[in-house]
């Protein structure tokens, strides 16, 4: 075609309006109407009719007829400036040209035409799980539990063979670390390796599931979700009393409390008929919210922030989805509207966070401050009244003394100051000693709940009543529904998310990643499951088994896929480099608390007491310097110095450095998966931190005592105590050189102990 004709045809096409029905309507409905429909009107804009299009939204008209370059709609799809639509992706050049041509030719739209929002999302995780039939893999001899069938069938489909079973020493160390977070004694390793019983492994799994340390190990994972800490957070980061909630979690897991009950008691135990003391303690789950109590802060602002934290935590923990986007506007990707967010907010808006304010004296820190919200006291009522009266006197004296010092600037020996300090010291001695714990409690009269445009706590939009997202199982509660109604709805078998999300997190702890890798996003932007049938089978098995978490652990630990070797295979380097198909086990760095626990276990120092108040193992003197109040840290002595890592007092602002360096979460928000880093600071902590040096000294003493036969026996014992296996001849040669280098024998064995406690193998689950 001659060039002149080509230019003429191009010009004619540019002036020809595109077909609304064939080109414009499908484009608007597939790319725009999810957010900009008559119901949601994100940013005030609907594209349901031509009138809506021309009226525009909060930014003004969307279209300037005949002028595509000046139309906000075109600027948005071109990703010019700050407005970029659709969010997170860009239309094709062809689609953009179609819209430009449409606007350039007058944006013709039939008067009767109304575009429709997309139908209810048809996402896999929003439908209730259906129990699939068990696959029939060819190599049925490899199968130990039903879940193996799913893994093996997929491997066979890909033409990949599973790895051989790990050796018995590796297996027993693995399952001890996974189920109780402690090392097996050398004698336990020997007994297992020498056993002839066909059910030896299953018997070992049952023994560990029955151990009281099981609740500690798996309770720590739940505390990550519950954002548990021993302080408030914020600029003051005052200490709080809530360790009994931690104990409740440990005990509930040890009893294998049905998970649906576990959920209900934590979300709304206070609203159960005649709640027990334990059910009240359980509601500490939502009292773990960080709070800001700095003088001059707006109490209502931080009350609202605490409610927002509870809504967002509920989404992360029980939905496996972030819902926080909907605080300010309709969720961009998932079907949670701004209005539905505040319907969830309404369930938590009636809690009594500020209604009860009283002084609290913490003897450990010589600290006097106010606590807010309901507390459960473990003392007779008259003793509580006596304590509160004394504390009120202390607060008045303390306030008066502060004012006097500001106004008079007295000398050190000022008689008024001296008298006041003596009187305060006497009052402190008289304070009755008993424990309290933070709990949830409803207000007598319900607060009204309104949407908050833009998430502003001062905003007052449409009034809403308690309700749940429409895309999930139906909610039968009315306008007076409360947290208990919501908790029971959460735990219904019809909920498509709860069982899936929970079994996926359990799986993640055993294999390093979940069947859904984005364990915190089961929404439309999350990763699809690598084994969808297995996930649904596990979810339905969880429900059918009475919501028993131990039953899921038993299934996984007894499976062939769990018992595989973790050795890297060259044949998988390209085909499955991230081990998503699970043709082998995964090597996993131990959690921060377990790094401490295994060192305590190997050294023989472990104090095995379950539960109780938080403790204060040694830490560097400068560790508290980041605290605005320069808090003190007095190291515990005796058995408390040797407690497991999960009992270490956790300041939100200045946590123990040995926990931070090994990636413990900050407890400000729910943590659904810990990071696993490998840094020089970790090696330095294991070598030089005070407690690890104490562990090395204790391990050296244990070697001298338990292996009196000489150097070879002690080195073998050292390896058995730390990594459960016998050392190789090369390893013995290298350690002998280290011993020869150190003239003092006591120091020499401490050096050996420090080396072994610092190895990658020691702090890794193979």
Task: Check whether residue 87 and residue 134 sit in a common domain.
Answer: no
Give a three-class secondary structure readout of 610-670. Answer: CCCCCECCCCCHHHHCCCCCCCCCCCCCHHHHHCCHHHECCCCCCCCHHHHCCCCCCCCCC
- Both structure tokens of 562: 């769990």
Helix, strand counts (H, E) of the chain:
28, 8
Residue 123 falls inside a structural domain: no
- Cis peptide bond prior to 86, omega within 30° of 0: yes
What distance in Å separates the CA atoms of residue 360 and residue 392, rounded to the nearest whole number? 9
Per-residue model confidence (pLDDT) at position 237:
87
Residue 497 lies in a domain: no
Q: What is the pLDDT of residue 390?
A: 87
**Given 3-state DSSP classes, what are the helix, strand and coil percentages for the chain, each rounded to the nearest 5?**
50, 5, 45
Residue ranges in the chain whose pLDDT is less than 50? 1, 3-13
Q: What are the tokens at 252? A: 């509930």
Domain end residue (candidates: 549, 571, 588): 588
Phi, psi for residue 386 in degrees, rounded to 5: -60, -45
pLDDT at 15: 65
Domain residues for the domain of 56 are 3-104
pLDDT score, position 600: 98
193 lies in the same domain as 166: yes
Average pLDDT, the chain: 90
Chosen domain end from 571, 588, 605:
588
What 3 state SS string does 318-352 have?
Answer: HHCCCCHHHHCCCCCCCCCCHHHHHHHHHHHCCEC
Domain identity same for 570 and 710 = no
Cα–Cα distance, 85 to 76 (Å, whole number): 5
Cβ atoms of 207 and 191 closer than 8 Å: no
The residue among 57, 48, 152, 64 whose CA lies nearest residue 107 is 64
**104, 139, 161 — which closes off a domain?**
104
Query: Are 472 and 517 in a shared domain?
Result: no
User: pTM value?
Assistant: 0.84
Q: Does residue 39 lie in a domain region? A: yes
Residues 22 and 142 in one domain: no
- Tens-digit pLDDT profile for residues 637-653: 999 999 999 999 999 99
In a domain, 368, yes or no: no
* Per-residue pLDDT tens digits for 485-541: 999 999 999 999 999 999 999 999 999 999 999 999 999 899 999 999 999 999 999
Question: Is 320 domain-assigned?
Answer: yes
Write down how long the chain is: 766
- C-beta of residue 749 within 8 angstroms of C-beta of residue 688: no
Residues 725 and 603 grouped into a single domain: yes
113 belongs to a structural domain: no
Residue 463: helix, strand or coil by DSSP?
A: strand
**What residues are paired with 491 via a beta bridge?**
none
User: Is there a single domain that holds both residue 269 and residue 311?
Assistant: yes
pLDDT of res. 271: 97
In a domain, 116, yes or no: no
Asked if residue 452 lies in contact with residue 308, where contact means CB atoms within 8 angstroms, the answer is no
C-alpha closest to that of 572 among 560, 588, 584, 586: 584
CA distance 664 to 85: 38
Identify whether residues 262 and 303 lie together within a single domain.
Answer: yes
The two three-digit tokens of residue 620, written as one number: 């560097």
Contact 728, 656 (CB under 8 A): no
**Total domains present in the chain:** 5
Contacts of 632 (CB under 8 A, 6+ apart): 365, 624
Same domain, 350 and 266: yes
CA distance 167 to 149: 22
Tokens at 200, concatenated:
């030896």
> Coil, strand, or helix at residue 60?
strand
Query: 475 and 430 in one domain?
Result: no
* Strand duo 463-464 + 375-377: pairing: unpaired
Instruction: Determine the Cα angle at 183 with ends 256 and 686, to 5°.
Output: 120
In a domain, 109, yes or no: no
Q: Are residues 753 and 649 in the same domain?
A: yes
For 472-513, the three-class secondary structure string (H helix, E strand, C coil) is CCCCCCCCCCCHHHHHHHHCCCCCCCHHHHHHHHHHHHHHCC
CB atoms inside a 10 Å sphere around CB 336: 26
3-state SS assignment for residue 450 = strand
Q: Which of 328, 728, 307, 672 is nearest to 522 (CA)?
A: 672
The answer on 338 and 454 residing in a single domain is yes
Which residue carries 């539960």 as its tokens?
Answer: 611
């Amino acid at each position: 075609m001659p060039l002149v004709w080509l230019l003429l045809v191009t010009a004619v096409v540019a002036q020809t309006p595109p077909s609304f029905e064939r080109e414009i309507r499908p484009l608007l409905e597939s790319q725009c109407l999810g957010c900009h429909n008559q119901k949601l009107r994100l940013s005030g804009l609907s594209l349901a009719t031509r009138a809506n299009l021309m009226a525009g939204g909060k930014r003004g008209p969307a279209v300037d007829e005949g002028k595509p370059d000046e139309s906000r709609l075109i600027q948005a799809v071109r990703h010019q400036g700050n407005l970029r639509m659709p969010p997170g992706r860009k239309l094709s050049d062809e689609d953009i040209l179609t819209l430009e041509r449409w606007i350039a030719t007058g944006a013709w739209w039939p008067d009767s035409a109304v575009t429709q929002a997309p139908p209810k999302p048809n996402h896999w995780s929003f439908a209730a799980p259906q129990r699939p039939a068990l696959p029939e893999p060819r190599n049925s001899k490899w199968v130990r539990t039903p879940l193996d069938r799913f893994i093996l069938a997929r491997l066979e489909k890909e033409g990949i063979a599973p790895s051989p079973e790990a050796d018995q020493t590796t297996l027993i160390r693995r399952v001890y670390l996974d189920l109780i977070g402690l090392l097996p004694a050398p004698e336990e390793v020997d007994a297992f390796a020498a056993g002839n019983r066909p059910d030896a492994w299953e018997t070992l799994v049952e023994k560990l599931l029955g151990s009281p340390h099981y609740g500690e190990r798996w309770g720590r994972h739940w505390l990550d979700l519950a954002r548990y800490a021993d302080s408030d957070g914020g600029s003051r980061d005052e200490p709080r009393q809530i360790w009994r909630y931690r104990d409740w979690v440990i005990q509930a897991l040890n009893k294998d409390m049905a998970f649906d009950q576990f959920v209900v008691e934590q979300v709304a135990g206070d609203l159960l008929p005649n709640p027990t003391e334990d059910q009240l303690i359980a509601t500490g789950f939502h009292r773990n919210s960080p709070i800001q109590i700095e003088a001059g802060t707006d109490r209502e602002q931080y009350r609202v922030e605490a409610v927002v934290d509870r809504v967002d935590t509920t989404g992360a923990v029980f939905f496996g989805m972030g819902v926080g986007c909907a605080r300010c506007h309709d969720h961009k990707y998932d079907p949670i509207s701004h209005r539905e967010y505040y319907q969830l907010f309404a369930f938590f808006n009636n809690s009594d966070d500020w209604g009860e304010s009283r002084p609290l004296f913490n003897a450990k820190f010589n600290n006097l401050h106010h606590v807010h919200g309901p507390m459960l006291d473990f003392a007779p009522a008259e003793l509580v009244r006596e304590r509160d009266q004394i504390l009120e006197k202390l607060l008045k004296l303390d306030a008066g003394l502060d004012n006097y010092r500001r106004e008079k600037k007295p000398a050190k020996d000022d008689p008024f100051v001296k008298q006041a300090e003596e009187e305060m010291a006497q009052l402190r001695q008289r304070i009755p000693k008993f424990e309290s714990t933070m709990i949830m409690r409803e207000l007598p009269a319900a607060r009204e709940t309104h949407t908050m445009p833009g998430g502003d706590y001062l905003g007052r939009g449409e009034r809403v009543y308690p309700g749940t997202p429409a895309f999930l199982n139906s909610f039968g509660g009315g306008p007076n529904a409360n947290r208990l109604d919501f908790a029971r709805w959460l735990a219904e078998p019809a909920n498509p998310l709860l069982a899936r999300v929970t079994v996926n997190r359990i799986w993640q702890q055993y294999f390093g990643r979940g069947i859904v890798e984005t364990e915190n996003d089961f929404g439309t932007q999350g990763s699809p499951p690598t084994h969808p049938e297995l996930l649904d089978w596990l979810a339905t098995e969880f429900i059918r088994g009475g919501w028993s978490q131990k039953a899921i652990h038993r299934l996984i630990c007894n499976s062939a896929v769990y018992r595989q070797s973790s050795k890297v295979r060259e044949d998988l380097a390209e085909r499955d480099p991230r081990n998503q198909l699970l043709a082998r086990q995964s090597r996993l760095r131990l959690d921060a608390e377990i790094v401490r626990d295994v060192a305590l276990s190997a050294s023989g120092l472990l104090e095995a007491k379950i539960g109780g108040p938080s403790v204060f193992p040694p830490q560097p003197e400068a560790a508290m310097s980041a605290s605005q109040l320069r808090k003190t840290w007095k190291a515990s002595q005796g058995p408390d110095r040797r407690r497991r890592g999960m009992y270490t007092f956790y300041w939100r602002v200045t946590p123990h450095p040995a926990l931070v360096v090994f990636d413990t979460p900050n407890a400000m928000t729910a943590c659904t998966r810990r990071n696993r880093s490998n840094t020089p600071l970790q090696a330095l902590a294991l070598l030089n931190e005070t407690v690890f040096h104490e562990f090395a000294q204790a391990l050296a003493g244990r070697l001298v005592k338990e292996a009196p036969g000489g150097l070879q026996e002690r080195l073998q014992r050292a390896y058995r105590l730390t990594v459960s296996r016998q050392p190789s001849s090369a390893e013995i040669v290298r350690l002998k050189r280290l011993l020869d280098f150190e003239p003092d024998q006591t120091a020499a064995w401490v050096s050996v102990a420090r080396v072994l406690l610092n190895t990658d193998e020691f702090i890794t689950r193979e």
